[in-house]
Amino acid sequence: GQQLNQSPQSMFIQEGEDVSMNCTSSSIFNTWLWYKQDPGEGPVLLIALYKAGELTSNGRLTAQFGITRKDSFLNISASIPSDVGIYFCAAFGGSQGNLIFGKGTKLSVKP
């Protein structure tokens, strides 16, 4: 089946640092999304991307839909303690017809 390869799996950063994570696939998708999951909660949508090459920001978050439609990245600038959590990439529009998810990037911030 289709898979999203998300990296890194985890990262520890100092507060104030910028963070970057990405997702790649061998399949083409029409929509890329980034979610954040806090402990004990379901994932919450951060950013949605609908067009190849699109660059979208949401506060300190910036995400891009790769021009090949097979990848996406998420950047977080000037990280703060509440950025801690698991970030998932997700994609839609491949042959499976359902939203599929990467395995997540666990972000831990040192205060």
Partner 1 sequence: GAGVSQSPSNKVTEKGKDVELRCDPISGHTALYWYRQSLGQGLEFLIYFQGNSAPDKSGLPSDRFSAERTGGSVSTLTIQRTQQEDSAVYLCASSLIRTGNGYTFGSGTRLTVV
Piece of 13-21, 52-60, 77-85, 99-107 that binds partner 1 (CB under 8 A): 99-107
Task: Assess 63 for contact with partner 1 (CB under 8 A).
Answer: no
- What is the distance between the alpha carbons of residues 105 and 7, in angstroms, rounded to a whole number? 7
Identified binder of partner 1 from the candidate list 43, 79, 85, 87, rule CB under 8 A: 43
Minimum CB separation of residue 74 from partner 1 in Å reads: 15
- What is the distance between the alpha carbons of residues 60 and 77, in angstroms, rounded to a whole number? 5
97: left (phi over 0), alpha (psi -120 to 50) or beta: left
Binding site for partner 1 (CB under 8 A): 4, 6, 30-31, 33, 40-45, 48, 50, 88, 90-93, 96-104
